[in-house]
Amino acid sequence: MLYDFFKTVAFKMDAEKAHELSIKALSSFPRTMAEAFGGDLQDKEKYQVDLNTMSWSFPVGLAAGLDKNAKAIDFFARIPFGAIEVGTVTPVGQVGNPKPRLFRYLKEESLRNCMGFNNDGAGRVLKNILSSERLGKVLGVNLGKNKDTSAENAHLDYLSLFKTFKDNCDYLVINVSSPNTPGLRDLQRHESMREIFESLEEERETCSTPLFIKISPDLPLDSLEGIVDLAREFRLSGIIATNTTIMEERGSGGISGKLLSKKGKIVRDRLLELMADYPDLDLIGVGGISCFDDVWDFWKKGGKACQIYSSFIFQGPDVLFEIKSGIDKKLKETGYKNVKELLKNIKDCK
Ligand SMILES: Cc1cc2nc3c(=O)[nH]c(=O)nc-3n(C[C@H](O)[C@H](O)[C@H](O)COP(=O)(O)O)c2cc1C
């Protein structure tokens, strides 16, 4: 109800303006806003999912890009998100692409953005993280290269970001999949990814911070096997799939939300097949997830933790409560006492 009212006002404004004002309000009054939207879950153990390298208190986390500068962690930690991913952060702050650069498709519950990694830079984001109250929630930091950094030097940006954040978060993500930084997606070529991971090797020996790679849904399906191989070779914690998709007929930038769900699912399903033999790798599912049925489908295929962005914009925190209700219903039907048990026995569930 409250979110419906909020949306009526916010959706009358330009999308980016509404976003900025919302982040301002959420960061200024995190407790009050979180309570007004229903607060957090009490019984966190019931909904906990265990990945190989971390445990989330709820199977759904906040995807990167919504809180790019880590300003509203205190709010997001107080609603049922199991993890919060901030960023994408680049070494030096940058303004991003010219505005307007964020568009809504109301009927299709989708967004198109060509933001271009606008962010305050690593130093400011680190400061915000250090002064935030996480309340035990998992915090991820999503890393990207500056627009002015050449492809040859991209690995140096990722290295400097890795050093800055490795001891100040619960996991890190190498983002090579945004369509809005020229040439970034080319870094998904295996030689480029190899160069990035090789340059991180020495630093990674000094810590145990889980490292993920976030990929595009527009990669050819037959290239996914190579990415899984690379993830194994460099002992990554896993893969985050997917970022936004390009739909040229809609204009420049990346599409997210329901218009992405089919493509995102195809990529995730293929990855889950490929990763089935490598239980040390986790897949974090993102892209078009908007209700419990989407989470259930991901679980049935072997996934555990997922993230949302667009459905949070269109439904607000209600989407998390709808997913919670779906879980409660399944637990009641099956007699399992928590999500961990449910996931262990998921193959036997209808
Ligand atoms: C406005 C906007 C900005 C985004 N910025 C980032 C970003 O900075 N880094 C990133 O990895 N993904 C970014 N994303 C992609 C989301 O994290 C997510 O992968 C994508 O939106 C698909 O999920 P969804 O369908 O739930 O929105 C952004 C998405 C949107 C809509």
Ligand 1 atom at minimum distance from 256 CA:
25
How far is the centre of ligand 1, averaged over its atoms, from the C-alpha of 50 (Å)? 24
Q: What is the pLDDT of residues 41-69, one digit of tens each?
A: 988 899 999 999 999 999 999 999 999 99
Q: Is 289 in the pocket of ligand 1 (CB under 6 A)?
A: yes
- The candidate with the shortest Cα–Cα distance to 242, out of 224, 264, 257, is 264
For the chain, the residue count is 350
pLDDT at 27: 95
Task: Centre a 10 Å sphere on the Cβ of residue 263 and count the other Cβ atoms it contains.
Answer: 18
The dihedrals phi and psi of 346, each to the nearest 5 degrees, come to -60, -30
The rounded distance, in Å, linking the Cα atoms of 30 and 44 is 20
Ligand 1 atom at minimum distance from 307 CA:
26
> In terms of DSSP bridges, do strands 282-286 and 55-56 run parallel, antiparallel, or are they unpaired?
unpaired
pLDDT at 188: 66
Point out the residues that are catalytic. 178
- What is the distance in angstroms between the CA of the first residue and the CA of the last residue of the chain? 32
- Show pLDDT as tens, one digit a residue, over the chain (350 residues): 789 888 999 999 999 999 999 999 999 999 999 999 999 998 889 999 999 999 999 999 999 999 999 999 999 999 999 999 999 999 999 999 999 999 999 999 999 999 999 999 999 999 999 999 999 999 999 999 999 999 899 999 999 999 999 999 999 999 987 777 777 777 667 888 899 999 999 999 999 999 999 999 999 999 999 999 999 999 999 999 999 999 989 989 999 999 999 999 999 999 999 999 999 999 999 999 999 999 999 999 999 999 999 999 999 999 999 999 999 999 999 999 999 999 999 988 87
pLDDT at 38: 93
Which CATH number among 1.10.10.60, 3.20.20.70, 3.40.225.10, 1.10.3720.10 corresponds to the domain 2-348? 3.20.20.70
Ligand 1 atom at minimum distance from 288 CA:
25
Dihedral of the alpha carbons of 106, 240, 168, 190, in degrees to the nearest 10: -130
Rg (CA), the chain: 19
pLDDT at 183: 72
pLDDT at 319: 97
Nearest protein Cα to ligand 1, atom 28: 65
Q: What is the pLDDT of residues 271-286, one digit of tens each?
A: 999 999 999 999 999 9
